[in-house]
Chains A and B, each alone.
Chain A
Amino acid sequence: MHISEGILSPEILLAGAAGTAIGVTMGLRSLKNGDIPKVALLTSAFFVASLIHVPIGPSSSHLVLNGLMGIILGWEAFPAIFVGLALQAILFQFGGLTTLGINTFNMAAPAIVAHYLARPFLKQGGLGPVGLLACAVAGGGSIMLSALLVSLSLALSGEGLEAVGRLIFIVHIPVAIIEALIATFTISFLLRIRPDMIIPGWTD
C-alpha cells in the first residue's frame, strides 16, 4: 500500500516526512541497543511475510501486516516500517526516497493505534473473547486507517486524484477482513507457543 514517486504534491510529501521523522525518533528513543538485532530480524520476518499472497475469492492480495507489527513492536514499528519500505525501494523500486516519509507515516501511524488498542488485552493465559475482538479490530482497522490516509494523501495532492484515492479505499475493504483474521490467529498462536515474544517479563 504505497504511493509511487512523482504523484503527490510537495506539501504532502513534506508533511509525511515530518510526521515520520517524529515517529522514527520516538521509536529509536525506546529502542535499546541490545534489542536492535531482535527488531531488525522481526522487520525482515515481516518483510518476508508480506510477500505471502492470500487468495480472496477469484483474486489475491499480499499481506500488509502493519497492525500486527504495531501490536508486537509498539513505537519501534515506526523505524521498522521505515526500514522495510527503504528496503522495498532499493530492492524492488516500490516507492523511493521522496515518498519514504509519507508512505511510512501512512502505514506506521495506524500501527501505533493498533498497539494501544490491542496491547492491554495481551496477558498471561491467552486471549479472552474481548482480546480476540481487540486484535481483530486492530488488525483490520489499521488497514482501513492506512487506506484512508493513502486516499487523503492522493485527494489533497490533486482534484483528479480523489477518484483514484476512493478506489484504493474500496479495494482495501476485503484486505482488511483478511488482515483482521490473520492478526488474531497469529497473536493467539504466539501467545500459545511463544508468549515470551510478546509479553515482556514472561515466566513459565
Chain B
Amino acid sequence: MSDAYANENTLVSTESDVYDRGLDAVISLTVLGFALSMVALVDVVPLDASGSALGGFFLALLAVTVGGVGVAGLASWLNVVPVTSQRVRGIGLGLLVTSVGVTVLAYGLGVTLATLLGLVLVFEAAAVAAAGVVSRVGLVDTGPDMSAGLLAGGAFGVIGLAIGAALGGGLVGFQSLLWPVVSLATAGVLAVLAIVPREDLGSTLPAALVVGTLGVVIATSVLGPGWQWNPQTLSGGFTGGAVIPVFVLFSSVLAAWSAAKARAGFGAQGREYGAFLVINLNALLMLAVMATIVVFVTVKGIAYSVHGLSIGAVAAMVLLAPLFVGAVQFARSPAGPDEWHAGARQGLRVLPLAVVGAAGAFLVGVLALGEPVYYAFDYTVLENRVENQLRTAVAVTNETTVGSLLLVLAGFVLFVYFFRKYGTLRNVGTASDRLALVRQAVTMAVLAIAALTFVFLLVGPVPFGITPLWYAGLAVIDLGTVAALALAALPALGVLAGTREASLADSAQDSAPLFTLGVFGGLGLLTVTLFLQPVAQVAPSVGPVNLVTLVAMVATAAMLAAAALVAVAGRSADTRIQRRFLAEELRLALAGAAGFLTLVGLHVAVTGIPQFLLGLSVANAGTLSWPMVQQAYIPLGTAPGGIMPAIVGTVWLVVGATLFAVPLGLGAAVFLTEYAEQGRFTALVEVATNALWSTPSIVFGLFGAVFLIPRIGGDESLLAGMLVLGFMLLPLVLITSREAIKSVPDEYRDASAALGVSRWETIRSVVVPAAMPGVITGVILGVGRIAGETAPLILVLGSTLNATEAADVIGGFRFMAEPPFVANEALLSTSASLPTQVWAVIAAGVSGSPSMGWATAFILLMVVLTFYAVGIVARTYFRRKLNYE
C-alpha cells in the first residue's frame, strides 16, 4: 500500500486502487471539513446558511481550490510539476473532487452548513469503518499489528468519557445518578474496541463510532445552530455556533488520523502516516489562526479604511517603479533545471512582471484618456445600531502631480536596491592624482557646507546682523549646485571621451573612478546644499524652478544617460570579469539616478514649494488621497474620519523605543557575553532580564506614569511612551542578542586574536556583524509586540480620541545657541497612537465606532506588517552578506 515500495513487486502484492483512491478522497474530505469548520467558527459563513447563499460560498471556495490546490494536484498528476508523492497528488485530486461534491450537495439538497458538516462526518465515519472491515477480512493487503495499542485505547477512553457524559446527560438528565455510569460504559466500550481487536479494526471502528455519532447528532439538528445550553453552575453557556465547529474540527482530525493509517496499510507505516497527518493539521491550524485573524480584520476594516481612496496616475507609476524593479529581478532569476516544464516555470517567473506591466499600461491609458477611472461600491456601517449603507469609490485620476514624500520613498527604496550590490567598484580608488585631489576637495566641501548649515541653524541666517554672511550662503549654494551638476555629468562624459581611444566597453571600465566620484560626490554635495537652503533662507532659482531641484533633475538625466551607455557597453564586454564590472557600474549609475530623484522629492518636502518641469510637478500636497490615513480624526459620523495622528504616533513610538532599546540591549549583551566572567552576576542579570520580559505591561505603564512622567515634562507625552515601550523592548533585545552573540563561532574570535586585534575591535568588526541577523530577529519580535501595546500607553501617552494634529517630531526640533541647545515640543506633548485609538473608539461606543475600530485595527495590522517586512529585509541582507549565497 505504501508508495515507498510501489515499484518493488515482491513487497507489494495486491493492487487495490479503489481502496487507495477512496481513502485519499476521505483524507481530502477531512481536510475540507477542517477548513470549513474554521470558516464557520469565525462567522464568514453562518452555520444556518443554506441553499444558494451556501452554494455561492462553496462555488467561490471551489474556485479557490481549483486555482490553488486543485491546479497543483492536477499538475502533479499530469507530471507537470514534479510532486512525486502519490499521496500528495491523491489528496490534491481528492480535494478537487470533494469540493465539487460538497458544492453540488449544497445546491441540490438545500441543507444548512451545519447539516452538511454533519453529513460529511457521517460519510467519513462510514468510509473509515469500511476501510477497517475490508482490511480485516483480507480484501486488501495490509500489515496491521495485533492491536492499536494502549495509548490509542487510553485516548479513546477519555473521548468516550466525555461523549458518554454528554449522551448520559441528554438521555437521563444530569440529576440522575445514572449518567456517570453511561459515561464510564461508553469509555469502556471505546477503549476495549480500540485495544482488543486487530489494529485495522482497533484504529478505525472506535474512530468511526465517535465521528459518526457526532455527525448524526449534528446532521439531525439535535445539536443545531440554534442549540444553546446554559448550565446553572456557570455564568456563561455553550452555543451551537461555537460547539459545532469545534466538534467538526476535532472529528476531522480523528477521521484524518484513522483514514491515514488505513491508507498506509496500518503497522509502522500506518502509524507514521497517521501521526504525520495529525501534526500536519496542527501546523495547518496555526497557519489558519494567523490567516483567519488577518482575513477577519481585513474583511471587517478594509471597506471603511479605503473610503474615498484616489491616486494620480503619475504618482501611481512612481509607486509602481520599485515593484517593477523587483519583478524584473524575479523574472531574471534562474528557473531551475532545464526540463520540458522549465518553460512553464519560466512563465510563472514572468507573471509578476506582466502584472506590473499591465498596471503600468493601465496608468498610461488613464493619462491618455484624460479622465479619472472609478470603481464604486457599497458597504455597511453600523450607525446608532442601524445598519447603514455607505457608497464610496476608489479612483485613479489623470493628475500628473507626484507627492514629495512618495517620490522620496520610492526613490530611496530604488537607491538602496541598486546601491547594495556595489562591491568591486568600492576599491577602484582614483585613477590619477588630479582625480584624487578632486575627490578630497569634494569631501572637504561637503563637510564644510554641513558645518555652515549647523552654524546657520544655531545663529540664524543673518548672524549678528552681518548680511554678507547671508550672501556667502547664497554663493555656497550656487557654487555647490553647479559643482554637483558637473560631478553628476562626469560619468557619461568620461565614457564618451574615452571612446576616442578605446572601445566603448574598455572606456566604460576605465571610467569607473568617475562613476564613484560622480555618484557619491554629486549626491553628497547636492544633499548638503539642499539642507543649507531653508536654513540660510535663500532659494536661488532658474526661472520658476529652484536651482537645486533643477540640478537634481538634470543630474538624474545624466545618470540615466551614463547607465544607458554602460548598458550598451556591457553587450560588447569581452571577459566575464569585465561584464561583471560593467554590471556594477550600471547599478551604481541607476543608484545615482534614484538618489538624485530622491533629492527632488526631499527638496520639495523640506521647502514646501511645488516644482514644475515639462508638465509634471512635485508637490507636498500630492495626488494620493487616502482620507483614513491622511486626515486627522473628525468626530464620528456617517463619513469616515481619518487616523493620521495615530499612525504617525505609533510610528514615532516604535522608532523611539527601538532607538532607545537596541543600543542599550546590544551593548549589555556584548558586555555580558564577551567581557563578564560567567558566574553569579551574569546569572542574576539573566534572571532579571527574563523577569523584566514577563512583567505585565500595565506595570510598565504605571511605572511610566508615576516615575517617568513627573521627571520629564510632568505630563503624558510621546517621549514617556517611547521610553516605556523601550523598557519593554529592552529585555527581548538583550535576550536575543545574547543568544546571537553566543552562537558566533569561537573560531572567529581566535582568528582575530591571533592577528593581534584587540577584543573590542574583534567584537565591533567580526562578532557583532555576525550576530546581526539574530539581533534583528529579536527586534522584529519586540517591535511586533510594542507596536500593538495598549495598556501602558493609556497611562503615559494619553488617549486622545480627538487628536487633530500629528506629532511633528522632525519639525518640532528647535536649536538654540544657549543650553540646552536643542528642544522638541512635539516629544513632550501628548499624542495619539493606533492601539489606544482602537481602544478609545470602541470604549466610546458612539455611532459608527465599531466600523471605525475595525478599520483602525486593520491599519494597525498593516503598520506592524510593514515593520516586519522592513525587519525581514534587513535580516536577509545581513544573512546574504555573511553567508556565501
Bound pair: A and B? no
Contact surface of B with A, Cβ cutoff 8 Å: none
